[in-house]
Amino acid sequence: MDVVEIAPSINNPQIWLIGIIVFILAYNYLTKESWKRLPPGPPSLPLIGSFPFLGSSDICESLRKLARKYGDVFTVYFGTRRVVVLDRYEVIYDVFVKNAQFFSGRPNTFTFAEVTGGYGEFWRKQRRHALHILRDFGFGRSKLEERILEEIRFFIQEIERNTDKPLNPQPFIQKSVDNVIGSVTFGKRMEYEDPIFIKFLPGDPKKEIFEISEHQRMIDEHKKEARGGKQDDDDFISVYLKKIEEEKNVEDSSFTEDVYFREFFIPKGTMIIPNLYSVHMNPEMWPEPEKFKPGRFLDSEGKIDKKELIPFSLGK
């Protein structure tokens, strides 16, 4: 008799609903007890995290609204991934500049690992070599400006050759930017209509990433030149490989660990995201931020006024 009465109750939707609710409440309780010192944030559900509570489909605007409720430092869960969001310039500066030794890690995403080998000793050494050489090649100096100005002259010439018809400047701008990068990286400028140059411009960037990650021919050629004593120091790759050879036995030190920031505890492995959209849409710093006003970025002498302009974030 008891078996007959219990069996139907197992299939009762209300029992399942109560069980799910109890599971969610227990999950949130245990999570909050385990990480009660984490920055505040919206609730999270098992597997799907905080997505149901983000509201707008515009993720940057959603995070901006959450900052108004939870403060400049708050926690959300993207699925099962714990994420701490930084909303103001001062906070981003404190985390990525003043505390760079703790927050210089990178998210271990599949794409990042595929292209760079993942964050760790290998990545840190590659980054150090790259930055050192890029400085030698003129980053932040007049040498790089000369390359840019040279390319601007070619860009203007190309525009002038096409003034007899309606013109979309976007392809020319793309080629100009790529040429500046290419001249620094490979030591060679390409003509806009060069078939080899054009071949690598179009396409799906996500698809190209995986193809680029497999390309070894150019690296092998530079290694061969280096062994034969014919390596030229006029391009980034040549100097980069030479620098690696010179410092292959030099130790590097860096670490990422559990840290306290302000009154909050941030466990090792937490993804840190600066909401740059919110920083640049802050009306306190940028009046009428939704309007196109290029002059807002210039000072009284016509020079760039950096203030809180951080389109590429801060830190290492």
Mean pLDDT of 174-191: 78
DSSP 49: B
64 vs 56, more confident: 64
What is the value of pTM for the model shown? 0.53
Residues 151 and 217 in one domain: yes
Q: Report if residue 263 sits inside a domain.
A: yes
Last residue of a domain, one of 214, 246, 278: 246
Mean pLDDT of 193-197: 71
252 pLDDT above the threshold of 50 = no
Residues 268 and 229 in one domain: no
Q: Report if residue 309 sits inside a domain.
A: no
Mean pLDDT of 277-302: 86
74 pLDDT above the threshold of 90 = yes
Question: Tell me: the pLDDT tens digits for 143-172?
Answer: 677 788 888 898 898 888 888 888 888 888
Q: Report if residue 303 sits inside a domain.
A: no
Residues 239 and 150 in one domain: yes
Residues 158 and 97 in one domain: no
Q: Report if residue 262 sits inside a domain.
A: yes
> Which residue segment(s) compose the domain that 287 sits in?
2-117+256-297
CA distance 57 to 40: 22
H helices of the chain, where? 2-10, 13-34, 59-70, 89-93, 110-116, 121-136, 142-160, 170-186, 195-199, 205-212, 217-227, 236-246, 276-280
Task: Tell me how many degrees the CA angle 27-31-37 measures, rounded to the nearest 5.
Answer: 160
Q: Report if residue 307 sits inside a domain.
A: no
Mean pLDDT of 90-101: 81
Q: Report if residue 211 sits inside a domain.
A: yes
Residues 238 and 275 in one domain: no
CA distance 29 to 36: 10
293 pLDDT above the threshold of 80 = yes
Last residue of a domain, one of 246, 267, 284: 246
57 pLDDT above the threshold of 60 = yes
Residues 190 and 226 in one domain: yes
Question: Tell me: the pLDDT tens digits for 296-309?
Answer: 888 888 777 777 77
